[in-house]
Amino acid sequence: PVGAPDKALAKKVTKVGIIGAGLMASQFALLFVRRLQVPVLITDLDQERVDKGLSYIRDEIGKLEAKGRIDGDQANKLRGLIHGTTDKTEYADCDFVIEAVFEEVGVKQQVFGDIEKIIAPDAILATNTSSLSVEEIGAKLEHPERLVGFHFFNPVAVMPLIEIVKTPATNDAALSTAFVVAKGLGKNAVLTADAPGFVVNRLLAKVMGEAARAVYEGTPLLTVEKAFGPLGLPMTPFQLIDLVGWKVAAHVQDTMAHAFPDRFFASENFHKLAELPEVVEKDKSGRVTGWSKAAEKVLKGEVGS
Ligand code: 3HC
């Protein structure tokens, strides 16, 4: 790819550390272990979160086995390569550490600051931030030259793209390793500028933000969906919001609006929509879900819009 340094500079990756055990992090763990066949660690704030992540990964491995994509021996091998822990010192020999924690610069700085004390000085650090400044995330690192942006898309197993982001500090070894790892994961990598939203979220934020705004300007949600459908994209705006999660989508909106107030709106329209109990459902943990189901309900005339 344009701008990618010589792959001979890449560091060999023999153990991967993932910080976080939520849905995104668990999807990474599965992909890394399946494609790179190296030990993979996941961690989170407490054992309960770690166990939840492990249980998701084991279920997904079971599904791959049931579909005949892997046999029993391979499934057992994958299960054996994944380990969950709350003890970060176990990350000491990881040579590639990627975070998928809360989208807050301070949180990411803290997480990397803690892990930097444990890992080798030349181990690569990667952030899956969807729209924050990678340079700012690395600003407090002792070795900011080893940090790259490594942005996946939902669903991680299926979407072929990774945006790799270089900061002014990123060195060629980190960049080259990122490209080689992306290739090993079976993904297409592109090098993007460290600008808010990189490339893809800059476009998707427009689609999702304008869709929500259109509803609040008086166009029924379903009409927005219907109007978009014939464009032939794999998902309509509200299906996309559902897939990404409305909180993440709202966060991307706010980041973009903050960076480019003349071009993006803040996410108030998302929040208003999420507060409408008659169109949006909540799951057991209180997470708002069902944006696209909301469109179906409107279609059936179950709610007015
Ligand atoms: N998790 C895991 N796997 C999934 C999945 C999910 N949520 N959804 C679908 N899949 C898998 C299916 O299991 C199936 O795998 P298989 O071939 O092994 O059986 C494969 O994907 C295809 O699924 P379907 O047959 O259901 O195919 P569809 O034609 O409906 O495609 C889709 C599903 C690939 C998700 C397609 O709708 C799509 O491409 N949607 C757009 C997704 C998109 O735009 N993502 C970007 C979001 S933005 C983002 O993530 C950035 C962040 O920073 C905000």
Distance between CA 147 and CA 158 in Å, rounded?
Answer: 25
Distance 159 CA to ligand 1 centre (A): 7
Domains of the chain: 7-192 (3.40.50.720), 200-296 (no CATH)
**Bridge partners of 289?**
281
Residue 97, phi then psi, degrees to nearest 5: -120, 125
Q: How many CB atoms lie within 10 A of CB 65?
A: 16
What pTM, to 2 d.p., does this model score? 0.91
Would you state the pLDDT for residue 224?
A: 84
Distance between CA 224 and CA 104 in Å, rounded?
Answer: 31
Distance between CA 140 and CA 122 in Å, rounded?
Answer: 16
**Bridge partners of 192?**
165
Ligand 1 pocket residue status of 235, Cβ below 6 Å: yes
Range of lowest pLDDT (147-151, 222-226, 251-255): 222-226
User: How many Cα atoms within 13 Å fall on the side-chain side of residue 14?
Assistant: 3
**Bridge partners of 43?**
19, 85
Binned at pLDDT 50, 70 and 90, residue 301 comes out as low
Which atom of ligand 1 is the closest one to the Cα of 248? 54
Active site residue 151: yes
pLDDT reading at 297 higher than 80: no
**Atom 38 of ligand 1, residue of closest alpha carbon:** 234
Q: How many CB atoms lie within 10 A of CB 24?
A: 19
Share of the chain above pLDDT 90, in %: 68
Ligand 1 pocket residue status of 267, Cβ below 6 Å: no
Q: What is the mean pLDDT of residues 240-269?
A: 87
**Atom 6 of ligand 1, residue of closest alpha carbon:** 155
Would you state the pLDDT for residue 285?
A: 55
CB-based burial label for 155 (10 Å; 0-12, 13-18, 19+): exposed
Would you state the pLDDT for residue 283?
A: 56
Distance 168 CA to ligand 1 centre (A): 34
